[in-house]
Structure 1
Amino acid sequence: MHLTDTQRRLLEFLRQHIDVHGYPPSQMEIAKAFGFSQNRSARYHLEALAQAGLIELSSGRARGIRLASPGAAARSSSSRTGLLQVPLLGRVAAGTPIGSDPEVRREVGLDPSLFRLRPDYLLEVEGESMLLDGILPGDLIGVHRTPQARNGQTVVARIEGELTVKRLDSGPNHLHLLPRNPEHAPIEIDARITDFAIEGLFAGLVRPS
Structure 2
Amino acid sequence: MTRPLTPRQQNVYDFIVKTMNELGYPPTRAEIARALGFRSPNAAEEHLRALSKKGVIRMIPGTSRGIRLPSQELEETTGTSAGEPHNGLPIIGEVAAGSPILAAAHIDRYCPLAPDYFTPRADYLLRVRGLSMRDIGILEGDLLAVHRTNRVRDGQIVVARLDDEVTVKRFRRDGHTVWLLPENEEFTPIEIDLRQQELEIEGVGVGVIRGGNGQSLH
Tell me the distance in 2 between the aligned counterparts of 1:121 and 1:112. 8
User: Who is 2:148 aligned against?
Assistant: 145
Q: Is the 8 A contact 2:75 2:81 kept in 1?
A: no
How many correspondences in the alignment?
135
Per-residue deviation, 1:68: 5.2
Normalised by the length of structure 2, the TM-score is 0.53
1:153-193 Cα offsets, whole Å, 9 max, x none, are 11000001110000001112521000000111100011122
- 1:155/1:166 contact within 8 Å kept: yes
Q: Which stretch has the larger CA shift, 167-176 or 118-127?
A: 167-176
Q: In 2, Cα distance between the equivalents of 1:175 and 1:126? A: 22
Q: Are 1:106 and 2:74 matched, yes or no? A: no
Deviations 1:44-68 (CA, angstroms, capped at 9, x unpaired):
xxxxxxxxxxx98xxxxxxxxx945
Q: Which amino acid aligns with 1:151?
A: D
Distance 1:134 1:204 in 2: 11
Taking structure 1 as the reference length, what is the TM-score of the superposition? Answer: 0.55
The whole-number CA distance in structure 1 between the counterparts of 2:113 and 2:85 is 11
Report the equivalent of 1:172: 175
3-state SS of 1:105 partner: strand
Q: Which residue of 2 aligns with 1:136?
A: 139
Partner of 2:124: 121
Structure 2 unaligned regions, length at least 5 = 1-70, 214-218
- Note the 1:58-207 alignment, pairs <5 A: 67=75, 85-91=88-94, 99=97, 102=103, 103=105, 104-110=107-113, 115-207=118-210
TM-fit CA distance, 1:114: 5.3
Q: Larger radius of gyration, structure 1 or 2?
A: 1
Seen in structure 2, the aligned counterparts of structure 1 residues 114 and 182 have a Cα distance that, compared at 3 Å, is farther
CA RMSD in angstroms comes to: 3.3
